[in-house]
Amino acid sequence: SQQGEEDPQALSIQEGENATMNCSYKTSINNLQWYRQNSGRGLVHLILIRSNEREKHSGRLRVTLDTSKKSSSLLITASRAADTASYFCATDANSGAGSYQLTFGKGTKLSVIP
């Protein structure tokens, strides 16, 4: 089953507005990552936040993590048409014995209207 689940599934905003996407997960994690996928392309890493961090910034991106609620949010400020893409959260599942797995949610499809 999916570890991370994004909400909403789709989001449409006007250029210049802020976009907020949420991710919930089920089990304890070491870190949580956000990726972007433009149509027909591979995923691109945006930001990683560790379980002992609460907030992280990168340019127009702001990520928060609440481990007590098992949730994270991605905020894109002053959105641009080029931000139109699907956004995925990914959580790790360190299952021990040297095994490691990054589990992706199904994504939020963001449309930024010029």
Task: Copy the structure tokens of residue 55.
Answer: 């907030």
Is-contact 112 66, C-beta < 8 A?
no
Q: Which stretch binds another protein (CB under 8 A): 54-62, 67-75, 77-85, 86-94?
A: 86-94
Nearer to another protein, 42 or 114 (CB): 42
Site for another protein in 15-34 (CB under 8 A): 30-31, 33
Determine if the peptide bond prior to 8 is cis (ω within 30°): yes
- Answer whether 108's CB lies under 8 Å from 46's CB: no
Residues 34, 40, 43, CA angle at the centre, nearest 5°? Answer: 20
By beta-carbon proximity to another protein, the closer residue of 1 and 14 is: 1
Q: Please name the residues in contact with 51: beta carbons below 8 A apart, sequence gap of 6 or more.
A: 28, 29, 30, 31, 32, 65, 67
Tell whether residue 48 is a contact of another protein (CB under 8 A): yes
Minimum separation from the CB atom of position 46 to another protein (A): 10
11 binds another protein (CB under 8 A): no
Enumerate residues 94-113 that contact another protein by CB under 8 A.
Answer: 94, 98-107
- Which residues of this protein are in contact with another protein, per CB under 8 A? 2, 30-31, 33, 35, 41-45, 48, 88, 92, 94, 98-107
